[in-house]
Structure 1
């Protein structure tokens, strides 16, 4: 017997409903068992999609599905300030207006845990059967001293992107070019052709200049900060690896003359230069490939690799992402409601629905997932297998950004900019000046706060 359209739609809705109920049964238990209230619980979540977001229709649909599944939870969706979210969030925390659920970046999580900003959700997490499906790397970011303080919802990894065609035209072999800092500098120099508006490497000199600069510090065997056992932080801006890395930035700019002329141009302009074939190489992340395809790039012309090893002989990628963080000052019922909401959006069902939406709408997904039972590459068509393999392999040689980055970034970035703008600038001197200022304005107050917390002294 043939089914009419209404019959098919009814069956489809039943299947979707059963899938949702199965995926979210544990959240129901966490929210409704014991003394949990049956009245409506209202939570504030900073997750309203930005205007023009390609994924906005997906989130609006999922918001409605959550409302239908959990009528006793009312979610107030607020939009965070674009590119000023950290400042907005910390202002809210200081003013006692921390949202019930907030998505924080990986590098902020450790300092937030030290300051007691996220709620301890260990008991709820251990009662959540699906916890075993989450990436151990991402879970490490959300953990401290065996306790759980967040739920990973997004993860990316970096790599070096290069234009195969430009390498061939210059008579260069990528493997040889990426053997060391020197070989990379020479290759970038050889591919630079000012007459044809082409250059070897898109360097990052914006207000986020420390983001990529820190990778070179790692390749030189160091870092920009170190964390002491008592939770306080020590600055290492003037360490030998940090100075060597900044000296190499200076060489790429002035000795090899292999970067864009406007070293302060935006990251978006760096991307546009690469997409247009003006830049031969740039650092990328696993969730930027959609932009490349939209820009008309043939993925067969693109290669990815690890950054060239530095003086320490190592090559490391950076792992980053987002963590759902609950408000420790919210009531228990609000925390349980927030946990239910966060685990709904990180469920296998929700993650796969996003991938399906992206595939149906021609959006290239992030090639990494915080869930080990979801493979984003299975939703991708036309992406070279070698490229996907290199992106996923980079995770094995990755690390988190330097500790206290969100507060120290302006100081490091300014030092990088000074070196890129003036050939006479001494890398050690600008780093020393940056360290002295950052010590006084950021580290001393931070260490004092941490010391008072650990000693139990009144603040």
Structure 2
């Protein structure tokens, strides 16, 4: 199995995208100097010094996060945190780093990567630590079960979020639209009313240049299908020609034909975020942890509306469950494992979550995220808008991204881009061709490796 996982994860490194973590395209990593803190007068100084290497992103390493680390180190004067910047999604590089012997002692890993990592033997079981933790009863059993394999608890959820439809309330009011759209048809009609080329306002936006499969999968789900499935033996089966995929592709063509998408189809993920913050995009798919990013870019929080993703032909609104788990490197020393658990326990404590809530309120960027602790109420702690709370509660229990996305996503990309750039493109033929290419170029080899390793 390790050989198969190696093939998959090596491909994932090349093709992976950040899973709703709110940062922009990955860039090269760079180490930063270790933070240090003077021991507090009440803390024990008898323990041997331990330095923990922690991979994170520059976007996550805010002054507030550094202040939390400083507080942790004051409480644990023998532990020093060495932050290493890895842009994009640091957890994606963890597997190859373990194999190379230069992995961090701890990192946050996306839900989509956890399933593969739990089979690879690179995550330290947390059972003994968790069982002795006085806060263990506060954790939602669903999240514990999700990241337990063969009775080993291998990660603790730090946060989770879903995908929504974000809309600019000010633009909606100007257009006389009283409520966000509930269906594809309503979204298209609203987009026509919101579209204002003279003021460079696009009524609707989705990714059309990079990572198009990331957003496109949500439309396929609303249509009642998926882009692939994993068979019982672990092999991958592509379903690019599923009727739901074709329906989603045709809806993209409708949006394009109505001229409600941004005229520049080369806009990247960061560009969409910028334009939404500037009031140049009226509606777009949106992860809950992007609110603080919009506020940081100058958008008024009262202008940010969140709704369920509009239902497609299935008649249902389907979203994703995206988040991250804090994990410990199984290959690091016992002293570092023990220290890493102390760090995880501190960062996931009720006290720390309340401090995070206070910081959200202070900075004006309340991210409507989901937390695994049953004793933490984000809405009560922050005064989050009631409509956001309703949407968050209605979005719990979303699905993971389509199987094999990291190795076949680029083929979906090309099909989506082709049907958007060529108004006469045949949706069925484009996706059939994409499936054939993906099958021959990557899936056959992947499945052969899976069978060989079984």
Partner Cα separation in structure 2 for residue 139 and residue 223 of structure 1: 27
Q: Could you tell me whether the CA contact under 8 Å between 1:222 and 1:242 is conserved in 2?
A: yes
1:211 to 209, 214, 232: 214
Residue matched to 1:227: 230
Q: Return closer, same or farther for 1:406/1:121 CA change in 2, 3 Å cut-off.
A: farther
Give 1:214 deviation, angstroms.
0.7
Could you tell me how far 1:287 is from its partner in structure 2? 1.8
Q: Which moved more, 1:144-153 or 1:308-317?
A: 144-153
Deviation at 1:392, TM superposition (A): 1.9
Could you tell me how far 1:150 is from its partner in structure 2?
Answer: 0.8
Paired residue for 2:16? none
Q: What corresponds to 1:389 in structure 2?
A: 389
Matched, 1:92 2:97: yes
Q: Is the 8 A contact 2:224 2:244 kept in 1?
A: yes
TM-score by length of 2: 0.80
| TM-superposed deviation, 1:45 | 1.9
Deviation at 1:67, TM superposition (A): 2.6
Question: 5+ unaligned residues in a row in structure 1: which ranges?
Answer: 1-15, 22-27, 29-36
Q: 1:390 to 1:141 in 2, by over 3 A?
A: same
Question: Which position in structure 1 is the counterpart of 2:311?
Answer: 309
Please state whether the residue corresponding to 1:78 is helix, strand or coil: strand
1:202 touches 1:259 (CA, 8 Å); kept in 2?
Answer: yes
The whole-number CA distance in structure 1 between the counterparts of 2:47 and 2:298 is: 52
Residue 43 (structure 1) shift: 3.5
1:398 partner SS: coil
Answer yes or no: is 1:238 the counterpart of 2:241. yes
- CA gap 1:405/1:343 in 2 versus in 1, 3 angstroms: farther
Shift of 1:295: 4.7
Map of 1:133 onto structure 2:
138
- Out of 61, 65, 85, the residue aligned to residue 67 of structure 2 is 61
Offset of residue 137 of structure 1:
4.8
**TM-score (structure 1 length as normaliser):** 0.80
Match of 2:187? 184
CA distance in 2, matches of 1:109, 1:209: 23
Question: 2 CA distance for matches of 1:324 and 1:195?
Answer: 47
- Aligned residues: CA RMSD: 3.0
Q: Which structure has the larger Rg over C-alpha atoms?
A: 1
Q: Trace 1:37-76 onto structure 2 (pairs within 5 A).
A: 39-47=48-56, 50=58, 53=59, 56-76=62-82
Contact 1:107 1:400 survives alignment (8 Å): yes
Distance 1:221 1:156, change over 3 A: same
Q: Taking structure 1 as reference, are residues 442 and 339 closer, same or farther at Cα in structure 2, changes over 3 Å only?
A: farther
Residue by residue over 1:33-58, the C-alpha shift from the partner in whole angstroms, topping out at 9 and shown as x without a partner, is xxxx95444432213x51xx485222
Measured against aligned partners, the alpha-carbon deviations of 1:370-390 in whole angstroms (never above 9, x if no partner) come to 322222334435x5322x223
Q: Distance in 1 between matches of 2:105 and 2:450?
A: 24
8 Å Cα contact 1:110/1:141 also seen in 2: no
Q: Residue 425 of structure 1 aligns with which residue?
A: 425
